[in-house]
Structure 1
Amino acid sequence: MAKLDRLLALVHALSETTEGLTLDGMAERLGVNRRTAERMRDIIASHFDLDEIADDRRKRFLIRDSLRRVYTRPTPAEVAALQAEVEGQRAAGKAARAGQLASLLAKVKGALDDREKRRIDPDLDALARLQRTLVTAGPIATVAPETVTIVQSAILAGCCVEFNYSTDDRPEPRWRRVIPYGLVHGPLTYLLGKMPGREDQPVYFRLDRIIEPKLSEMLGCAPDDWDIDAWLADSFAVWRDEKQAVTLRVPASSAARARGWRFHRLQQIEELADGGLRIRFASGGMRELAEHLFTWGGELVIEGPEVLVATMRDRIVAAMTMLPAQGNMVTATDFVTTQAQGAE
């Protein structure tokens, strides 16, 4: 490890000097020849900001920043990735989330000195101009930034959140007090909350439907053994119904695609003798799972449970109503009846 030891020693020497070291000075300090010192300098320059000072006909080199600063300084790619996420959240209408990330971005840029800004600006401009977060089709919901702030404050303070809440089925707002069990971000942002004093499971509250939120005087926080990831894994998406054992069979022709796809975070994949796959997982949310499986039409078979098969038939009927009427077209009901008889 002698070479590594000499290289690290030179890094420290270059960071501790105030006047800089010449190549001859480096060689003398390390007990190597000038050519070796030159190669070591080049390696260090590829990882650190190595300043060069002209001293008559000789050049001196030094690392101006502390070594810790070198490892905490953001790269252009990291700043550009954060900037793309800010713009993507704004384009998706998620002003509250975008505001928090934009504040973080401003702090990251503000921590850079003029020399660092000049160093990363050319690369940052190029990456930011040609890098975007894709905004897909989905619900449009505006969440007030103060709503997110109040929910996060309640989590930190260990108290309940009080608010009025409305739904599509019940547009008249009703008062609620819940223990915050977490924030879940996605196409929509949800407060995961549980009514205090009840044994019910936590439920989702859409943040865009929360009206006049405030911190409650009642204390309440999630238990220390609460595992939000395990809770989320019990359902395919947001809707929660009885947990089902799901089995999907993928033919060999689609196996390559399925191996690179995540149907569920706890899925198990079985290799079949014919080159196909059998995918198993336990989850609720059969309607959302059925709608997702539409994208796999012709590429897999739902082996179970029966409730998922029935749900898929219902969604096919609903989907066929979107097609223009044709004189000889088989109706959705006929189609599903035929499929059911074939299954029997």
Structure 2
Amino acid sequence: MGKLRRALTLVHLLSESSEGLTLDEIACELGVNRRTAERLRDALREEFDVEERLDDRTKRFFIRDSLRRIYTRPSAEEVAALQTEAAGRRAEGAAHAVHLESLLAKVKSALDHRERARLAPDLDALVRLQRSRVVAGPLLDATAEALGAVQGAILSGHCLEFDYVAESGEQPKWRRVIPYGLIHGATTYLVGKVPLRLGRPEQEPAFFRVDRMTDTRVSNLVGCAPDDWDLDTWLAGSFGIWREEDHEIVLRVLPSAVARARSWRFHPGQALERDGDELLVRFRSGGLREIAEHLFTWGGDIRIESPEALRKVMRERVLLALGSV
């Protein structure tokens, strides 16, 4: 059965890739060596029209228009997952909820009458008993138009212009930024960088809440993120949203919580180190306030080893929680 699964997986890979895959890429995707990848490709050629194109002296393989509908129609589990996610993001007021709902409608409309009848019982059961968790947070009013303008600026390689309210009650201020990324979640953020101006210091990218943006439009000024920009690396410099100087964070997990901490992601760049019956968690990050507030959820099972700045922030948050400040 393992060989059959690999063969079916390869059929999907070659039919869904617009650029095609090299033998090395096939081997990597399937977790096999190059020779096995070659044998699987040759076996598929007996049943499918496996085509190839030359890309900088490297052959790339793909299947063009040769799959039957049975290979691509969605399962009840897949449709239910999409519907659950769309409903959850709609409940949060997420800006991209409209896109998920549009995709869901297209997936459902692509099903014929027989497929809809086959999926209906399972889909109804799964949707009824599945929810995407909606956490406490701001009531948002982000519009699909604002999100569309951000994505339009990214696609066209232009800056984005908008009026922005930094805090509730303030007057909107005009902004022009280069779009460096979109962060979806309970709140949708634009990562934007103010274009470099003659005689002014260069500014770092910053977060802008999409729900606080009005009169959002694509600028006439060209501007796009550099090719070596890595959004994931930039995000890892902070524990959450707050951007500040990063610190070497060391947390000590008490024995009662070691098992839980080993299966917990504190930070993408974390390193775990056993220290007797305890566990040390190390990572480099800013966002000390967000780290301190997260540590409240551990009920005293995690102690701050360093830096002292994080201890200071934690003491401040404790006093505020007690109403002493």
Match of 2:291 in 1: 289
SS in structure 1 at match of 2:233: helix
Letter in 2 for 1:313: R
Question: Is the aligned partner of 1:259 residue 2:262?
Answer: yes
Where do residues 1-344 of structure 1 align in structure 2 (5 Å cutoff)?
A: 67-94=67-94, 96-168=95-167, 171-197=170-196, 199-274=202-277, 276-321=278-323, 332=324
CA distance in 2, matches of 1:193, 1:161: 9
The letter of the residue matching 1:295 is T
CA displacement at 1:136 relative to structure 2: 1.4
Q: Residue type matched to 2:217 in 1?
A: K
**Which amino acid is the alignment partner of residue 85 of structure 1?**
E
Give unmatched runs, 5+ long, in structure 2: 9-65
Distance (whole Å) between structure 2 residues aligned to residue 235 and residue 112 of structure 1: 43
Q: Distance in 1 between matches of 2:193 and 2:132?
A: 33
Secondary structure of the residue aligned to 2:228 is: coil
Aligned residue for 2:111, secondary structure, equals: coil
Could you give the per-residue CA deviations for residues 54-106 of structure 1, whole angstroms, max 9, x where no partner exists?
A: xxxxxxxxxxxx74422211100000010011111121222x32211000001
Work out whether residues 247 and 284 of structure 2, in 8 Å CA contact, stay in contact via their aligned partners in 1. yes
* Counterpart residue identity of residue 237, structure 2: D
The alpha-carbon deviation at position 247 of structure 1 amounts to 0.2
2: CA distance between counterparts of 1:90 and 1:167?
24
SS of structure 1 residue aligned to 2:135:
coil
Letter aligned with residue 258 of structure 2: A
Conservation of the 8 A alpha-carbon contact between 2:182 and 2:190: yes
Deviation at 1:170, TM superposition (A): 7.0
Whichever residue aligns with residue 106 of structure 1, its letter is A
Structure 1: stretches of 5+ with no match in the other structure: 9-65, 322-331, 334-344
Cα RMSD, aligned residues only: 2.1
Tell me: higher relative CO, structure 1 or 2? Use CA pairs within 8 A at least 6 residues apart: 2
Q: Give the TM-score, by structure 1 length.
A: 0.73
1:117–1:171 distance in 2 versus 1, CA, 3 Å:
same
Letter in 2 for 1:190: Y
After superposition, the Cα gap between the structure-2 partners of 1:176 and 1:273, relative to the gap in structure 1 and judged at 3 Å, is same
| 2:178–2:224 contact (8 Å) kept in structure 1 | yes
The one-letter code matched in structure 2 to 1:319 is: A
Count the aligned residue pairs: 262
CA, structure 1 residues 260+132, in 2 after alignment: closer, same or farther (shift >3 Å)?
Answer: same
Cα pair 2:89 2:97 within 8 Å, conserved: yes
Output the amino acid matched with 2:308: E
Q: CA deviation at 1:168?
A: 1.7
SS in 2 for 1:74: coil
3-state DSSP of counterpart to 2:244: coil
* Letter in structure 1 aligned against 2:310: L
Output the CA distance in 1 between the equivalents of 2:72 and 2:87.
Answer: 24
1:175-232 per-position Cα deviation (integer Å, ceiling 9, x unaligned): 1111000111122111110111152110111111111011100000000110000000
Deviations 1:141-195 (A, max 9, x none): 1101100000000000000011111122771111111100011112211111011
Task: Tell me if the contact between 2:196 and 2:203 (Cα under 8 Å) persists in the aligned partners.
Answer: no
Task: Give, as a single letter, the amino acid of the residue that structure 1 aligns with 2:77.
Answer: A
Structure 1 counterpart SS, 2:214: strand
1: CA distance between counterparts of 2:250 and 2:263?
17
Q: Which amino acid aligns with 1:306?
A: E
Which region of structure 1 is more displaced relative to structure 2, 75-84 or 168-177? 168-177
Alignment CA distance shift 1:79-1:269 (3 Å): same
